[in-house]
Amino acid sequence: MNEIPSQSAKLIVLSVDGLRPDIYRAPEMRRRFPNLNELEKAGASAESVETVYPSTTYPAHATIVTGVAPRAHGIYSHLASLDPTEKARPWCWFAAALRAPALWDVARASRRRTAALSWPVSAGAGIDFNIPEIWDPAAPDPHKDFDTPARHSTPGLFGAVTKVLAPLLGKADPDQLRGEAALHLWKHHRPDLLLVHFVWYDARAHAFGPTSDEALKALESADRAIGKIRDAISRDPATTLVVLSDHGFVPVEKEAAPLVPFAKHGLFARGADGSLALRRLGAVSAGGSVAVYWLEQPTADDRRRLGAAVNELQAAGAVKEILDRRRLEEIDADPDAEMMLEAAPGFSFSDRLEGPAIDEAPKDRGTHGYLPSNPGMAASFIAVGPEIAPGKNLGSVSLKQIAPTLAQIMGLPGDILATEEKPLTLK
Ligand SMILES: [Zn+2]
């Protein structure tokens, strides 16, 4: 029999960006990530979580809080601009772009207090204590742009948190800072729901590869931050701790730049200064895939040119699959895209406009964005709390099942969500 959790049931959700379950679960890795492995023993966990397409941070985090696929929640990619010739492209930072109710809306309707830290697609959301993930895309180093998140945070909150973090600035990595900020929010504002986004593993896995020592050291840091948060709530029996991720990661050896053959075949115009300018073709590269858009009705010649450019990418071995509109509808992905190209194993698609179509020695060594059926794209889910069976194996689950599960943990009416998925049985 399922008991209904009390109104005081609190929930902390820690998203470790890019965490593939077989990374922390591998026998030789368990010692490096003691907190993740202890949580797995103490609670219910999935062997794998099937993510969304493209398997990138913004569409996936929007699914985590809404329980629906990108086609339904409206966050089709990380970028809000479809123009690949634009120098500083804005991301989908704003919750107003969500077309489905989020967990924070459900919590607010039940008069529960919410807080979020660096959560994607949360700027301007109805969250009581919010420091969203947002930056000025034209800033020289977006990671050092503090003005933009400060401006979009709950008034006074960013200043209060940076004051607490002051002794650590310049010494701690981004996840240590997020962990300390999360503890501050938890202790001082007592939210019923706290959402936190850890980003350092993803950043290092892109730069050095998902199992590089640099990436694993970043994950050790996230593991320690998770352990500190778990210790802090250990005397609070009504609190559930969930650790999850948005997608997995795979190593890459080659970078393909689809915009280079697109430009070669005349799909962009030339600006007065000689730089490429938008014509009818839009594009968003997501690492493991790239979405292509007709922003205006194409001519037969435009279509022929696009076909020729795609053929070149295929001939270079960079394309595993071409997903047309029908196929994108089947997998609940971007309804605006004319097509998406799925990168071949070992290849990553970039937004580069100039240079060779294929770079055999790219800067980045890892990526995601591939089809959810790629086993390397599997995400993680662990839940530990008073209503959860220890050591329970949930098997393979869907990212869309997480929002209704989180609503149930908090005792919220999950039917406010637009999802058709049922909560996971955690007992
Ligand atoms: Zn991510």
pLDDT tens digits, 232-291: 999 888 999 999 999 999 999 999 999 999 999 999 999 888 899 999 999 999 999 999
Q: What CA–CA distance (Å, rounded) separates 10 from 2?
A: 18
CB neighbour burial string for 147-167, b if at least 16 within 10 angstroms, e if fewer: ebbbebbbeebbebbeeebee
- For residue 271, how far is its CA from the centre of ligand 1 (angstroms)? 34
pLDDT over threshold 90, residue 2: no
Q: What is the pLDDT of residues 330-349, one digit of tens each?
A: 999 999 999 999 999 999 99
Q: What is the pLDDT of residues 53-97, one digit of tens each?
A: 999 999 999 999 999 999 999 999 999 999 999 989 999 999 999
pLDDT over threshold 70, residue 164: yes
- For residue 127, how far is its CA from the centre of ligand 1 (angstroms)? 21
pLDDT band at 6 (very low <50, low <70, confident <90, very high): low
- Under DSSP, is residue 107 helix (H, G, I), strand (E, B) or coil? helix
> What are the sequence ranges of the domains in the chain?
10-248+375-416, 254-363
pLDDT over threshold 80, residue 1: no
- For residue 86, how far is its CA from the centre of ligand 1 (angstroms)? 23
Q: What is the pLDDT of residues 349-389, one digit of tens each?
A: 999 999 999 999 999 999 999 999 999 999 999 999 999 99
- For residue 299, how far is its CA from the centre of ligand 1 (angstroms)? 37
> CB 427: neighbour CB atoms within 10 A?
11
pLDDT over threshold 60, residue 3: no
CB neighbour burial string for 309-336, b if at least 16 within 10 angstroms, e if fewer: bbebbeebebbbeebeeeebeebbbbee
- For residue 247, how far is its CA from the centre of ligand 1 (angstroms)? 6
- For residue 152, how far is its CA from the centre of ligand 1 (angstroms)? 21
CATH topology identical between 10-248+375-416 and 254-363: no
pLDDT over threshold 80, residue 4: no
Homologous superfamily, domain 10-248+375-416: Alkaline Phosphatase, subunit A (3.40.720.10)
- For residue 340, how far is its CA from the centre of ligand 1 (angstroms)? 19
- For residue 61, how far is its CA from the centre of ligand 1 (angstroms)? 8
Q: What is the pLDDT of residues 167-200, one digit of tens each?
A: 999 999 999 999 999 999 999 999 999 999 999 9
- For residue 235, how far is its CA from the centre of ligand 1 (angstroms)? 31
- For residue 367, how far is its CA from the centre of ligand 1 (angstroms)? 10
- For residue 203, how far is its CA from the centre of ligand 1 (angstroms)? 9
- For residue 273, how far is its CA from the centre of ligand 1 (angstroms)? 36
- For residue 13, how far is its CA from the centre of ligand 1 (angstroms)? 15
- For residue 197, how far is its CA from the centre of ligand 1 (angstroms)? 9
User: Tell me, what's the pLDDT at 141?
Assistant: 85
Rounded (10°) CA dihedral 309, 314, 316, 318: 110
- For residue 182, how far is its CA from the centre of ligand 1 (angstroms)? 19
Q: What CA–CA distance (Å, rounded) separates 36 from 260?
A: 42
Q: What is the mean pLDDT of the chain?
A: 96
419, two tokens? 């999802």
- For residue 169, how far is its CA from the centre of ligand 1 (angstroms)? 24
Q: What is the pLDDT of residues 404-413, one digit of tens each?
A: 999 999 999 9
**CATH classification number, 254-363, choose in 3.30.160, 2.60.40, 3.30.1360, 3.30.450:** 3.30.1360
Overall average pLDDT of the 131-159 stretch: 94
- For residue 298, how far is its CA from the centre of ligand 1 (angstroms)? 33
Of 247, 200, 256, 278, whose CA–CA distance to 377 is shortest? 247
pLDDT over threshold 70, residue 148: yes
pTM of whole model > 0.95? yes
pLDDT over threshold 70, residue 7: no
